[in-house]
Chain A
């Protein structure tokens, strides 16, 4: 480290204005800004350069630190959220404390938002002046290193969560997998086949599900939800709520004798897994391959639990005495280093577009319901039949229901074209019905996807380009009687059409979970207004979030298909692993501190701290701050009437100087 007394040494500031190609130089006269910076106090070097973040750019700074004896560095370029670490490291490598570096954001905040070059140049000058003023009052700091807990948590047990958990577990990390439903498997477990290869979904998923169950490094908590998350990267404290199953999960082997013995002789309650197309009893297993292979008692429909009165035949026949109607919610507290969110999606509710008759006409189905109908383990054992038990002779598939629609969701759900093709193929295979696809655009980007579309065209499936106006049962001719009539404009022939069909499938889009907002607040991450969780950077950090140590996998980040989901889950697991294996996390030293000389002991700050990091010391009559608990928000600093509380990197003086710089020079 370069040795100088920062309290007394005269600042020697180097200012570097980045062109960022033409990103900045196109809207800011960089040479003029550099010349202006030279006139500012204590600036000994000022220049502009094409790409400051490049190796030669960084080398330029390092050379000047060594040769000109710079003790402060200002780079005016992009957002500090992007390249601050780069330049800090460059300074540190040249022996300067990295916190003597200050960045001015003249790309995101100037050149990209200011069409007028004169105005842009003036604004850039102001921001450079502010950084020059501020950097003089920066102080040398050190990043705190904190050890990382080697365990990880995965939230959501769909294919994303399963793959992420297995990848982490295979690398030797202990994983807590939390799933809120009674079984893992997610949406993929509901499908019969997967596009475009027509792999049997169960055949490729269920082995992974049982791997999860049997893996020594995975603790599976199904029927559980994350209640609370505290701490920070490397050291999260998570509280998990385990909902009562009224069954001893450890001893139940899923023999299902209790289900047969239940006082309800026939299943009469909607099975959620089959979207209500199949009924279940109050004691049930969602589907035969459910993992864990244990039954669950539904407290809403079980007579013992809802009415307090039942013969309890189920408990009587249980060979392992698993029933316990006194169970209540329990809580598990675990420490983990990294968390992967893989909470998935929900499908669009077709009822929100009444003109398609979902919920009104019995033979209008959502695509997910049809997935269950064509599934061999589904409600009809894979037979696709109408409500009257007959096979449909004609089926319409309406694309983009709840996608690419300004009234519902503007975005493309990415998977609907392909799964519509898959369903078209499966329905044709099983019923030989005529199939009409009504689409806006066919979107089939992906390996083997376009080829699959070609195959469907050859199979004789009809494709009609046009958004459907209405589905009704208003017959105009005897042939239309008893049918569902599709009215749509065929935009390729430029004619309106009426097509009578027996069954309508709505290709519903993917949506963020209804409670996505609540979930992301728990994990302190952000989401788009649609509810999709935000990645840190769309290209360069697609599985990270703004909160260190929390990663994303699968459709909770945006609609995606199974291959992309699995790839992303692997990436998230790798990021988590990299963090855990590094062993330590570095924390920004932006914590607060209290100047004992100035503190008058008024205790204003004590009540302000959201983390209870400040305590009043009765004996000394002053406030004492526990740095380990401080997260660096600075609320206490803003409240302190005597200026005793200060925040590293954001002292009152630094901010005042930045203000002066921003206002006084230009």
Chain B
């Protein structure tokens, strides 16, 4: 990416077709510019978000993942966003245990009329992840590597693997 000196985080966004994807179109139609770091992938409903997508995105080199769905009560499919929320909370817990900062994944409710919110959220998230720096993923620990870690007094002893 351009602007070589500053860290340019790579953010993947999963937006639901009915609210947030439409909102992101509105952001464009309204010419509200935002950080170029986000890549939007359309899904029909935030309830379609398999937590594996988030993990795969982080594995494939994303520094953060943004999920956008309709506001509670507004889901085109009645309650897909609630299901997304439930999964998301569990996923966040799991990522935390893996030593991935919570701020790297974010779930936002953005209605079709909230083009300005897309701009705000993307800019905020880009700045936040820029501060965190690139995501560093280490190999899955083995008993041997854990021993090494313990000897080096790294964070593994506190339950995390960095």
Interface residues of A (CB under 8 A from B): 79-82, 105, 107-110, 112-116, 118-120, 122-123, 126-127, 130, 521, 524, 526-529, 534, 546-547, 590, 608, 610-611, 631-635, 637-639, 647, 650, 652, 655-656, 658-660, 662-664, 666
Contacts and interface: CB of A to CB of B under 8 A. Distances in A.
Contacts of B47: 608, 633-635, 638
Contacts of B21: 81
Contacts of A115: 33
B39 A126 contact: yes
Contact-residue bracket for chain B: 35 or more
Nearest to A115: B33
Contacts of A647: 44, 48
B100 interface: no
A122 B1 contact: yes
Nearest to A82: B25
A635 B80 contact: yes
A658 B50 CA distance: 14
A127 B39 contact: yes
B112 interface: yes
A149 B87 CA distance: 39
A650 B43 contact: yes
B53 A655 contact: yes
B42 to A, nearest CB: 7
A594 to B, nearest CB: 15
Interface of B: 1-3, 10, 12, 18-19, 21-22, 24-25, 27-29, 31-34, 36, 39-45, 47-53, 56-57, 60-62, 73-74, 76-80, 83, 87, 111-114, 119
Nearest to B62: A663
A53 to B, nearest CB: 16
B39 A123 contact: yes
A80 to B, nearest CB: 7
A663 B12 contact: yes
Contact of A659 (B12, B33, B48, B80): B12
Contacts of A637: 48, 50
B44 A113 contact: no
A524 B57 CA distance: 31
Contacts of B43: 634, 650, 655
Given A118-B2, A123-B39, A659-B12, A81 B87 contact: no
Nearest to B57: A659
Contacts of A634: 43-45, 47-48
Given A109-B28, A118-B2, 15 more contacts: A81-B21, A82-B25, A107-B28, A112-B31, A113-B27, A119-B3, A122-B2, A547-B76, A590-B44, A633-B47, A650-B43, A655-B41, A659-B53, A663-B12, A663-B60
A638 B22 contact: no
29 contacts: A79-B28, A108-B27, A109-B40, A112-B29, A113-B36, A114-B36, A119-B1, A123-B39, A524-B76, A526-B112, A546-B112, A608-B83, A610-B78, A611-B78, A631-B77, A632-B44, A633-B48, A634-B43, A634-B48, A635-B48, A650-B43, A650-B44, A655-B50, A656-B53, A659-B41, A659-B53, A660-B60, A663-B57, A666-B1
B91 to A, nearest CB: 11
Contacts of A107: 28
B34 A119 contact: no
Contacts of B45: 633-635
Contact of B113 (A80, A526, A666): A526
A80 B28 contact: no
8 cross-chain pairs, A with B, having the tightest CB-CB distances, nearest first: A108-B28, A634-B48, A633-B77, A635-B47, A112-B28, A119-B36, A118-B2, A633-B45
Contact of A635 (B33, B62, B83): B83
Contacts of A610: 77-80
A528 B26 CA distance: 12
B32 A534 contact: no
Nearest to B61: A663
- Max chain B C-beta neighbours (<10 A), residue from A105, A526, A534, A546: A526
A652 B51 CA distance: 11
A125 B76 CA distance: 31
A633 B17 CA distance: 10
B78 to A, nearest CB: 4
A144 B3 CA distance: 48
A660 B21 CA distance: 20
Given A126-B39, A521-B74, A663-B12, A116 B53 contact: no
A109 B79 CA distance: 27
A422 B112 CA distance: 38
Contacts of B49: 638
A113 B33 contact: yes
A526 B27 CA distance: 16
A634 B22 CA distance: 18
A130 B25 contact: no
Contacts of B24: 108-109
A113 B39 contact: no
Contacts of B19: 526
A32 to B, nearest CB: 13
B113 A534 contact: yes
Nearest to A532: B113
Nearest to A27: B33
- Max chain A C-beta neighbours (<10 A), residue from B44, B60, B83: B44
Contact of B42 (A80, A521, A526): A80
A575 B60 CA distance: 46
Given A112-B31, A650-B48, A663-B10, A123 B36 contact: yes
Contacts of B79: 610
Nearest to B112: A526
A662 B41 contact: yes
B18 A546 contact: yes
Contacts of B61: 663-664
Contacts of A526: 18-19, 22, 74, 111-113
A116 B74 contact: no
Contact of B56 (A521, A529, A659): A659
A647 B119 CA distance: 30
- Max chain A C-beta neighbours (<10 A), residue from B3, B28, B43, B57: B28
A639 B49 CA distance: 9
A659 B60 contact: yes
